[in-house]
Amino acid sequence: MDEMEAIKATFFQECEELLADLEVGLLAMQAGPADGETVNAVFRAVHSIKGGAGAFGFEGLVRFAHVFETLMDGLRSGKIEQSSDLVAALLRAADLLADLVEAARGGAEAEDDRTGAMAAELQVLIEGGESAGSMSAPAAGEAAGELDAPFSFQPLGASSPCEAEAPFTPLAVLPLDGPAGDAGPVAWSIAFRPRASLFHNGNEPALILRELERLGPATITLDASSVPPLASLDPEASWLSWEILLTASCEETEIREVFEFVDGDCDLSISRAGEDAPAEADTDAAFAALLASIQDPPAAAVDPDVAPPVMAPPVVAAPVSRPVVAKASTDPQVAAPQATIRVDPERIDRLIDLVGELVINQAMLAQRVMESGLSPSSAVSVGLDDLEQLTREIQESVMAIRAQPVKSVFQRMPRLVRETAAMTGKQVRLVTDGENTEVDKTVIERLAEPITHMIRNAIDHGLETPEARIAAGKNPEGMVRLAALHRGGRIVIEVADDGAGINRRKVLAIATDRDLVAADAQLSDEEIDNLIFLPGFSTATQVSDVSGRGVGMDVVRRSIQALGGRISIASRPGEGSTFTLSLPLTLAVLDGMVIDVAGHTMVAPLSAIVESLRPKPEDVRRLGPTGMVLAVRDTHVPLLDIGCVLGFRTEAPPASDRVVLLVEAEDGSRAALVADGIHGQRQVVIKSLEANYRQVPGIAAATILGDGRVALILDVDAVMTLRPPGASRAAESTLIAAE
Amino acid sequence: MTDPVEHCVNDIFEMISFRIGEQEFCVDIMAVREIRGWAPATPLPQTPSYMRGVINLRGAVLPILDLAARLELPSSEPSARSVIIVIDAGGRLVGLLVDAVSDILSVSRDAIQPPPDIACDPVRNFIRGLMSVDGRMISQIAVERILPEVETLAA
């Protein structure tokens, strides 16, 4: 990947974040009249996308983003009134913007009718808003003029720095009798020196300076003195800086907000140039002196007294009655985004692999030391204990690096809800909860699909039409609640709707119709609900565009199970259904029970084991020709020899002198698995078998034990279904009868 | 992937040759990642008999394929002298269990002949070509075809 491609990749990555911010902001606006900061955030997101897109020459994207931005700007300045229709249009525009970004990422310039229509719609809103709205903002006239002007965007870096000089030399001469605000205008002295990274990130100083002018009249002076001769000019470097004298009745934070985009990409110093100017004559004089000095760029560049370029506190020539307020550009108070770094996920994966190796090695070492017969109080053993602790801490820390909030998945859902609602003609409100719940990245990546499916399902099958809801005395707007939480070392995702609940009669009829259950079967409500997870089941009588894509809940269930998770459903007629899925927090390690099976060491996932016991001979009973059951307290569960099921041996030795693991499958059914011995519990690093081989029936994955050998991790559910066909039916009916 | 142009300068291939019983085989050296001694493998349930199981290759789970059994040759229990050739078969690592590694050969493209059409599935499926070196016949293994799922796909 060449450098340009790398930057482009970063741009698209940022676009994802910006689009997410955009969505969050718009949703906040949808919830009610938003404060200025929210509107600003939306504006900034669109603006940044436009800026980046311009740098890469995505014309269609730029054009559309520009219209969007103009509308947001109108909203921001109060020229356009916020209304629910407007926000709805903005949300659709945001979806389209996301599509355009996606198209640009794919290398296409999507300039279709949809874009044109949406742009036209936004344009109407802009014009409608402007003629009707108040023209209160100081920059209103200018902004309106800007709209009419044909829009063009120059890719950054294309123009030479010298060319840029012309537009920015004093843009406006400071009128001392500027508009008086409530607090009275204050003269601010701002030194702004972009770093090269500012340009690399696709920012445009001109836009920032123009933005600054909206706060009040500004005198902007370009300092081009450090531009080297053309021959030695590094076009990638930053050579220009500006000094701005701004008279505005605003707080320092407002000025900083203008520079918020480029925080960290420039040297910025903001200070008050004087007291509440221009009230007193002496400050006026000071002000004039200051003005004079900074309008003389060469002098300004060397004069340490006047607005030093970086962050030394400024000293104003005239006496001032109180200390000058000066803040460093890296002021942590001013909405500084939390410092984060981007790391290639491959590096983290590598680190996790290495730590996995470390854990294995440490275990190996511990085993060797134990075998050598050293006393547990010997220096070596004590040191080894410390090592073990450290290793575990390192492992946890490394895992924490990969942990991410589920937000990234949840953020995709509002759009899905909007689209599905539009497609089904239903009114839906999405409520999310616990979006900061953290889970391993590998799990997050695989959450999106099942959640998407469950939400589609909830809207398509769960919620009623607005008419039906009104008839049932409910709010016509249905609610879908998406929540995430940690419970018992797992992450739980709930998708709940307040629809009609599962139509059990219909479900049963369909299941009987399709021979999924016997016609005379007596099933509990819960069992009926769970029928929807059966392969080949779909309640929609006609295959709808929304959820009937040939992918049923059985596929969702299987994909969840493949991750070591469970999915269940709870439903109340008339009140709605709740799908609950629980997943391990990480797919990298597993708490397991190390067992012996027919001479092989294996690992059974601890999460599936209810208890382990040594069966009494009288509790083991024959059932049918080959079936065996174990009496556990008052119930009988099928007794399965792991070695036989996996095909390691054909004849199982008597169960009574061995160990039984009472396990529970995802669907709640239980079985007693017979192992030859138990070695204890251990956290093991999960190694994929599929990476170099393929899935093996009955085996979930592999791991590496302390002795360096590979041990297989049992797939408990699969082992239970792998059981010889003759024994299963009888044992199952016993199980049901006993329960 | 290594640049193929560089690899077959003047159409010369480098091969690693090895023995299974009486017969000699070879694989393209570019596919070989390493050669290691035999270590007991953890058997996998319900897999074809030529899959010996899996071993730990510095943290990765490496399936071991008994090449003799795969080629339907008489297969014997591996001994301390047996060798595992770790090859990269289309992005997946697999260990080939062979009796011994014999040589590194430089073979020109012209010297590789297509296998004669004998009615024998393993030969048709897994032998890409034959070459004659110092009077010995050496068969080139088609590494991308020896993993089981590729076989099912082809069928």
- Give the domain CATH number at A435: 3.30.565.10
Residue of A nearest to B43 (CA): A600
Residue A158 forms part of a structural domain: no
Residue A170 forms part of a structural domain: no
Pick from A646, A693, A711: which is nearest to B45 by CB?
A: A646
Structure tokens at A734: 């016993």
Contact assessment for residue A391 and residue A358, using Cβ atoms and an 8 Å cutoff: yes
- Give the SS3 label for residue A544: coil
Residue A164 forms part of a structural domain: no
Q: Which regions of chain A are under pLDDT 70?
A: 1-2, 108-111, 129-184, 274-338, 488-489, 536, 538-551, 666-667, 723-739
Give yes or no: residues A225 and A273 share one domain: yes
Structure tokens at B43: 């058997």
DSSP characters over A567-591: EEEEEETTTEEEEEEEEES-SSEEE
A205-213 helix and A161-168 helix, angle to the nearest 10 degrees = 10
Residues of B in contact with A698 (CB under 8 A): 45-46
Residues in Cβ contact with A225 at an 8 Å cutoff, skipping those fewer than 6 apart? A297, A298, A301
Give yes or no: residues A546 and A504 share one domain: yes
Give yes or no: residues A615 and A720 share one domain: yes
Is A646–B54 a contact, with Cβ atoms under 8 angstroms apart?
A: no
DSSP characters over A645-673: HTTS-SSPPPGGGSEEEEEE-TTS-EEEE
Bond into A228 cis (ω within 30): no
Is A692–B94 a contact, with Cβ atoms under 8 angstroms apart?
A: yes
Q: Which residue has the tokens 């249905």?
A: A478
Is A356–B46 a contact, with Cβ atoms under 8 angstroms apart?
A: no
Q: Indicate the residue among A584, A599, A625 that finishes a domain.
A: A584
Give yes or no: residues A295 and A372 share one domain: no
Pick from B42, B45, B92: which is nearest to A698 by CB?
A: B45
- pLDDT at residue number B86: 94
Residues of A in contact with B47 (CB under 8 A): 696
Alpha carbon distance B12, B29 (integer Å) = 12
Q: Which residue has the tokens 């034959």?
A: B130
Contact assessment for residue B41 and residue B61, using Cβ atoms and an 8 Å cutoff: no
Residue B128 Cα, gap to closest chain A Cα (Å): 22
Residue A500 forms part of a structural domain: yes
Give yes or no: residues A415 and A360 share one domain: no
- Which residue, among A573, A590, A583, has the nearest Cα to A528 in the 3D structure? A573
- Give the SS3 label for residue A674: strand
Q: Which residue has the tokens 């060491």?
A: A601
Pick from B56, B93, B147: which is nearest to A710 by CB?
A: B56
Residues in Cβ contact with A24 at an 8 Å cutoff, skipping those fewer than 6 apart? A41, A411
pTM of the model: 0.50
Residues of A in contact with B92 (CB under 8 A): 691-693
Mean pLDDT across chain B: 83
| A-B Cβ pairs (cutoff 8 Å, strict) | 74
- Give the SS3 label for residue A416: helix
A113-132 helix and A59-77 helix, angle to the nearest 10 degrees = 20
Residue A364 forms part of a structural domain: yes
| B128 pLDDT more than 90 | no
Residues in Cβ contact with A168 at an 8 Å cutoff, skipping those fewer than 6 apart? A205, A206, A209, A220, A222, A242
Residues of A in contact with B40 (CB under 8 A): 709
| Confidence tier at B26 by pLDDT (50, 70, 90) | very high
Residue of A nearest to B64 (CA): A693
- Which residue, among B155, B103, B89, has the nearest Cα to B124 in the 3D structure? B155
Residue of A nearest to B86 (CA): A692
Q: Indicate the residue among A533, A566, A584 that finishes a domain.
A: A584
Centroid of chain to Cα A418:
19
Give yes or no: residues A99 and A45 share one domain: yes
Q: How far is CA B27 from CA A621, B96, B109, B129, in A?
A: 55, 11, 14, 10
B interface test, pick of A357, A358, A693, A705 with most B CB neighbours within 10 Å: A693
Residue B30 Cα, gap to closest chain A Cα (Å): 18
A448-457 helix and A413-424 helix, angle to the nearest 10 degrees = 30
Contact assessment for residue A685 and residue A356, using Cβ atoms and an 8 Å cutoff: yes
What is the CB neighbour count within 10 angstroms for residue A238? 20
Pick from B51, B58, B61: which is nearest to A710 by CB?
A: B61
- pLDDT at residue number A543: 43
Give yes or no: residues A550 and A610 share one domain: no
Residue A326 forms part of a structural domain: yes
Residue of A nearest to B51 (CA): A693
- pLDDT at residue number A733: 38
Q: How far is CA B62 from CA A78, B91, B100, in A?
A: 65, 13, 19
Amino acid at A520: D
Kindly compute the dihedral angle of the four CA atoms of residues A192, A239, A41, A264, in this order, to the nearest 10 degrees: -80
Pick from B45, B47, B63: which is nearest to A692 by CB?
A: B63
Q: In which order are the strands placed within the sheet that holds A710-714?
A: A677-685, A589-597, A600-605, A710-714, A699-704
Supply φ then ψ for residue B64, to 5 degrees: -110, 125
Give yes or no: residues A400 and A435 share one domain: no
Structure tokens at A521: 């079967």
- pLDDT at residue number B94: 92
Alpha carbon distance A704, A727 (integer Å) = 34
DSSP state at residue A634:
T
Q: In which order are the strands placed within the sheet that holds B12-20?
A: B100-108, B12-20, B23-28, B136-141, B127-133
Query: Which H helix or E strand runs over A491?
Result: strand A490-497
Structure tokens at A706: 């302390």
- pLDDT at residue number A713: 92
A706: domain CATH number is 2.30.30.40
Counting the structural domains of chain A, the total is 5
Residue of B nearest to A707 (CA): B56
What is the CB neighbour count within 10 angstroms for residue B94? 22
Is A696–B47 a contact, with Cβ atoms under 8 angstroms apart?
A: yes
Is B54–A702 a contact, with Cβ atoms under 8 angstroms apart?
A: yes
Residues from B in contact with A at Cβ < 8 Å: 40-47, 51, 53-56, 58-63, 92-94, 147-149
Compute the radius of gyration of chain A from its Cα atoms: 34
Residues of B in contact with A357 (CB under 8 A): 58-59
Residue A166 forms part of a structural domain: no
Give yes or no: residues A199 and A266 share one domain: yes
Residues of A in contact with B51 (CB under 8 A): 693
Give yes or no: residues A521 and A653 share one domain: no
Q: Indicate the residue among A300, A330, A360 that finishes a domain.
A: A330
Residues of B in contact with A711 (CB under 8 A): 42
Residues in Cβ contact with A331 at an 8 Å cutoff, skipping those fewer than 6 apart? A256
DSSP characters over chain B: ---HHHHTGGGEEEEEEEEETTEEEEEEGGGEEEEEE--PPBPPTT--TTEEEEEEETTEEEEEEEHHHHTT-------TT-EEEEEEETTEEEEEEESEEEEEEEEEGGG-BPPP--S-HHHHHHEEEEEEETTEEEEEE-GGG-SHHHHHHH-
Going by their DSSP bridges, the two strands B23-28 and B127-133 should be labelled as unpaired
Residue A336 forms part of a structural domain: no
DSSP state at residue A461:
I
Contact assessment for residue A249 and residue A185, using Cβ atoms and an 8 Å cutoff: yes
A379-402 helix and A345-371 helix, angle to the nearest 10 degrees = 160
Give yes or no: residues A463 and A561 share one domain: yes
Give yes or no: residues A440 and A297 share one domain: no
Q: Which residue range(s) make up the domain with A419?
A: 410-584
Residue A86 Cα, gap to closest chain B Cα (Å): 52
Centroid of chain to Cα B124:
15
- Which residue, among A303, A240, A302, A228, has the nearest Cα to A267 in the 3D structure? A240
- Give the SS3 label for residue A272: strand
A101: domain CATH number is 1.20.120.160
